[in-house]
Amino acid sequence: MSPENNAKKGFEVILEFVKTLPGMPGVYRMMNAQGDVLYVGKAKHLKKRVTAYTQPGKHPVRIQRMIAATATMEFITTHTEAEALLLEANLIRKLKPRYNILLRDDKSFPYILITGDHEYPQVTKHRGAKDRKGEYFGPFASGYAVNETLTVLQRGFQLRNCTDAIFGARSRPCLQFQIKRCTAPCVGRVTKEQYLAQVDMARQFLEGKSRAIQEMFASEMQKASEALDFETAAFYRDRIRALTQIQQHQVINVEGIGDADLHVLYQDKGQTCVQVFFFRAGQNFGNRAYFPKHEKEETAEDILSAFIAQFYANKPVPREIIVSHNVSGKTVIEEALRIKSGHKVAITNPVRGPRREMVNMAVKNAKEALERRLATEASQGQIFERLAEVFGLDSVPERIEVYDNSHISGSNATGAMIVATPEGFQKNSYRKFNIKSDIQPGDDYGMMREVLGRRFQAIIKAENDAGTYSQRPDLMLIDGGQGQLNAALQVMADLGISDVTIASIAKGPDRNAGRERFFMPGKEPFSLEPGDPVLYFLQRIRDEAHRFAITTHRAKRSKAISANPLDDIPGIGGKRKKALLMHFGSAKAVAEAGVADLQKVTGISRAVAEKIYGFFHEKDS
């Protein structure tokens, strides 16, 4: 049967429903024969809206396909079109119909909570249902934005961030008190009234009254300075700096904005980025980029309209929503959001002045975010397809593991593994290996055998424990030449693993980048053309593995260098160790000193001197 005949069948199904539809506002669902929801729509007049689907030739091909696939429909009537819009947005979020514009990455936003269920309020990050008593400030665009503000609040107002259980169990101030991030109300270092005054100032700051607080701090700093109390003056100076730190990081901001969200849109190559900026109490609480799913022919006005309706289906609504484009059905959306929030909501599209400049700056951010996404998608997709060709893989690789080792003449030897995917480096999957076996200094092959052995033994164990196939790499790259490849192949053979493609990458003559040679089992060594994007990619992931290996090695070496043999002597604490080093100049000189010389150090008795001497000379006896 031709698509046209299928479409006619769909029209006929819809026509049967039209006969009994009321002329009321409501929501309709179009479903296929399997019961999957194809589309959710709202209407001011259900009968008229659905009738439009029964007119052949007046719809684009995409809608004709949707109509052709429609086997049944469901309807819900509402009192108003605004109520229908709210219901439509909730159903789209829940059902994710194929033919609707969809808001992806619909995660909740974090807040700052000043608790109200304890006599000494705690300031903390909160995400999820607002079921704890207290005052909530936000939303913030990301956990990073919240953490940055929390740090400022601690530095500026010295509020506690510990849990109530820890607060109740304290008997002495913690480190936060020592570094002037808390006034230690847990042990009475500040009165309840004084602490609540700190909380009130933090509350005012989050409500946008930071200028008054900064002026008060400036006045106190001036008074302390005139009284030559420079320590107190420096204390207030640091608090002022902490409060101004947030404003310094706010790239987009405009005077006169209270509580508002900024939604701007940029389109290119059939894709869209919507950037949302949050302003609360005149402060920019960060921004987040969204890439809604839609058909290429959708207009910016329709996309922004659908986005806003879905966005606020599960989020608090500000009094003003500033947009970069006109919004389809603006009046209905404003009314729907008013019903949801309980207050008037205005959607505005400024055409001139500081607000338009702010919108243009935000659009520039959206443009850059979309360009990065498009470039990443295109280049990464093509590169991973070429990787499959270059290394003879059956399919496009989804996980590449790269291994490298680092040491200095065999000392502090470490191995490193990094993971690359089509989405980028997967840093939470990186692994480091401290070489444990008795390997000859500089034995790179032995190090590689240990690293790979431990890695794949762990994979096999995980598979056996879970009873499922663990995530093995599709491609394994070893930094080195034929020798490193042979070592890797030996490990795989010993473990009975034959389903992982292995290759090694070695720098060319004189270790020149761009002339790398690749080694694979059963193939002659080969090179890629200079300038090949795949070569650049392989160099980049090889360099990332080298960077991670070097960083791991340096950390281990620094720890070894900073280790002091005096730390291992029983009964020698910090004061005695410091006295010994001040007297002799180094741990080596202490080791070479006699008992009589050791006794000359303050705090070192004859018994302690003999213990120290015995520690360094017991092997000689």
- pLDDT 10s digits, 2-28: 445 555 678 888 998 998 899 999 999
What was the pLDDT predicted at 345? 93
pLDDT of res. 265:
95
What pLDDT digit, counting tens, does each position of 446-484 carry? 888 888 988 988 888 877 765 445 578 999 999 889 999
What is the 3 state secondary structure string of 328-386? CCHHHHHHHHHHHHCCCCEEECCCCHHHHHHHHHHHHHHHHHHHHHHHHHHHHHHHHHH
238 — pLDDT class (breaks 50, 70, 90):
confident
3-95 domain in CATH 3.40.50.1220? no
Average pLDDT over residues 305-315: 90
Topology of 260-372 in CATH? Nucleotidyltransferase; domain 5 (3.30.420)
Q: Do domains 260-372 and 400-560 have the same CATH topology?
A: yes
pLDDT of residue 39: 94
What is the reported pLDDT for 621?
Answer: 41
Which span out of 176-185, 402-411, 459-468, 481-490 was modeled with the highest average pLDDT?
481-490
How confident is the prediction for the chain on average, in pLDDT? 83
Residue 620: band (very low, low, confident or very high) from pLDDT cuts 50, 70, 90:
very low
Is the pLDDT reported for residue 217 higher than 60?
yes
pLDDT band at 557 (very low <50, low <70, confident <90, very high): low
Superfamily, domain 400-560: UvrC, RNAse H endonuclease domain (3.30.420.340)
- pTM for the structure as a whole: 0.56
Residue 412 has pLDDT above 70, yes or no: no
Q: Is the model's pLDDT at 48 over the cut of 80?
A: yes
Q: Residue 488 pLDDT > 80, yes or no? A: yes
CB within 8 A of 406, min separation 6: which ones? 413, 414, 415, 416, 546, 549, 550, 552, 553
Q: If one looks up domain 565-620 in CATH, what number appears?
A: 1.10.150.20
- Interacting residues of 103 by C-beta distance below 8 A, sequence separation 6+: 93, 290, 292, 306, 307, 310, 311
Element (H, E) at 202: helix 192-206
Say yes or no to pLDDT of 324 above 90: yes
What ranges do the domains of the chain cover? Answer: 3-95, 111-248, 260-372, 400-560, 565-620
Q: What is the distance of C-alpha 446 from the center of its chain?
A: 37
129-178 residue pLDDT tens: 888 899 998 888 877 778 878 887 888 788 888 888 889 888 898 888 88
d(CA 420, CA 403): 12
